Structure 1
Amino acid sequence: MTKTVVITGAGSGIGRHIAIVLAQRGWQIVVADINEDGARATAADLDSRNGQLHEHAILDVSDPHKARQVADDVASRLGLDAWVSNAGVSYMQRFLDTPIESYDKTLEVNLKGVFVCGQAAARAMVRIGAKGAIVNTASMAGKQGRVPYLADYVASKFGVVGLTQAMAFELAEYGITVNSVCPGYVVTPMQEREMTWEAQLRGITPDKVRQLYINDTPLRKLEQPDDVANVVAFLLSDDARFITGEAVAVNGGAYMD
């Protein structure tokens, strides 16, 4: 029987690669993104050799009503076996210069979005009796504050790690597992923007920033989106059914617990 997963922020970046990897492994994907064009494009590119009927949905992850609509609709029509809360934003600025508007937007998407979507997904799973799995995208910035120019992002991702544990504890009685992944320096459009911003803040070139990231990673290379996607696939698999409340580091050793 085909399993169905909703992936937020799957129109690009890590989310898109999570969708690609899971589809290759037989999952039926609902690609959710605030950008409809990106969501539609990802859904159209997914492997459907196992008869999956992939879909896309427009979703502002901070909107409880819309999140509930998506979760309930998918659960009722397709079954809801898993949910990946991956949508995120970042703004790179010095702490002393960070406007409160950036802080509010970062937490609205990165933390409130995980709460809103996780709650909607869990309610739908409980309603249909699904012993599902939820995975939240955190960051190695959710385990350490030694991250320059990303104070609001750090705050949001620490929150995701803590929220994941709280969700896991309360949802265990329903057989729902909740874990997070903590990527490092991943090659995505978001990282390209961050390298440009950090270069400006440091007064160096983006290439030198890229080398700083590589030097900071013991495996001496930048992380690829599929490195994250493969771990998400494991956390959604039956092999991980006794793992819950974890924040799994996927960063090439750039931060070790």
Structure 2
Amino acid sequence: MSTSKVASVFDLDGRVALVTGAGSGIGRETALLLASAGAIVVVADLNQDGVQKTVEQIEDASGQAIAAQVDIGDETSIVAMFETVHARLGRIDVLVNNAGIYPKTNFVDTSAEKWDLVMRINLRGTFLCMREAIKQMQAAGTGGSIINISSVASLQPVIFDNGDYGASKAGVNNLTKIAAFEFAADRIRVNAVLPGGVMTEGAVASARDHQARGPIMQPGRIPLGRIGVAADIANTVLFFASPASDYVTGQLLVVDGGFQVS
């Protein structure tokens, strides 16, 4: 198989991809990679400085991007973002639901308010973005790909003090399968990536704070021998976003260095 043939399988030339939480970490790495594959990337985040930095990095690499400040916990903000994308770009082909929060609280100390906040960002926000993207994809009649960033914590306990987060991501898994089933006839594919531990700025800060309060998890549990990096997740997102996965929908793909089987 020629190099050009391989490249075409991952080609996103001219497609519009919206990535939430793209101001840093996995979201930024994903936005950069999708842009390098030819996509016009909508860089969405609440952190405007982070958004601008990601946009600048894409443009410095001769890619195309537009900035979108959005509060994933606010329906009005989400709807406005999708309306703006439609007005400016006329379509959306790929949605990456990456934005999320992961504060750590002991199970019995978790307040209803904190539980509701985690669900509002991680689950409700993902649903609202899916809803708005699906509306536009249906109207365009050209299909699309939605990739939800979930977590291995959605499948089993991984670290302590993570009950609300794990429950929110289990909900994301279920939404992924429901939408894959309901919108397959529209050629809208919906899949989820389930990262294990990933070395991002946010994860490092969270782990540092958590470790000060007690043990996090058993050491030596990753068979491939290293912690994940943002590029590991971005590469998987590209697979789901691209023609390489045209016959794949409703899947929950774990990317954890083998943690689940250790």
Q: Return the TM-score normalized by structure 2.
A: 0.89
Measured in 2, the distance between the counterparts of 1:117 and 1:187 equals: 26
Quote the residue 1:216 is aligned against.
221
What are structure 2's unaligned runs of at least 5 residues? 1-12
Q: Which runs of 4+ in 1 moved over 6 A?
A: none
SS of the residue corresponding to residue 39 of structure 1 reads helix
CA distance in 2, matches of 1:214, 1:43: 37
Partner of residue 92 from structure 1, selected from 95, 104, 125: 104
Alignment of 1:6-155 (within 5 A): 6-47=18-59, 52-78=63-89, 79-155=91-167
Deviations 1:83-115 (A, max 9, x none): 111000011121111222221111110000100
Conserved? CA contact 2:35–2:64, under 8 Å: no
Pairwise CA distance, 1:256: 4.0
Rounded Cα–Cα distance in structure 1 between residues aligned with 2:260 and 2:185: 32
Contact 1:185–1:213 (Cα < 8 Å) also in 2 = no
2:199 is aligned to 187
Count, aligned residues? 249
CA distance in 2, matches of 1:115, 1:167: 10
Q: Deviations over 1:209-235 (max 9, x none)?
A: 6xx676121111110100000000000
TM-score, with structure 1 as normaliser: 0.91
- 1:26 alignment partner, SS class: coil
Comparing 139-148 with 119-128, which one deviates more in the overlay?
139-148
Are the structure 2 counterparts of residues 34 and 177 from structure 1 closer, same or farther at C-alpha, using a change threshold of 3 Å? same
| Inter-CA distance 213–29: structure 2 relative to 1 (3 Å threshold) | farther
Q: Deviations over 1:13-57 (max 9, x none)?
A: 11011011111111111100011111111111115666x431010
Q: What is the CA–CA distance in structure 2 between the aligned matches of 1:227 and 1:214, rounded to whole Å?
A: 21
By how many angstroms is 1:6 displaced?
A: 0.5
Distance 2:117 2:187 in 1: 33
Identity of aligned residues (%): 34
Structure 1: how far apart are the matches of 2:46 and 2:125?
A: 12
Contact 2:58 2:64 survives alignment (8 Å): no
Counterpart CA distance in 1 for 2:219 and 2:137 is 41
**For the residues of structure 2 that align with 1:125 and 1:76, how far apart are their CA atoms?**
14
Equivalent residues of 1:9, 1:32 under 8 A apart: yes
RMSD: 1.8
Could you list the per-position Cα deviations for residues 105-150 of structure 1 after superposition, in whole angstroms to 9, with x for gaps in the alignment?
1111000010010001111111222311000100001111343110
Q: Which whole-Å CA distance do the structure 2 matches of 1:133 and 1:214 have between them? A: 36
Secondary structure of the 1:75 match is helix
Task: Please list every run of 5 or more consecutive structure 1 residues that lacks an aligned counterpart in the other structure.
Answer: none
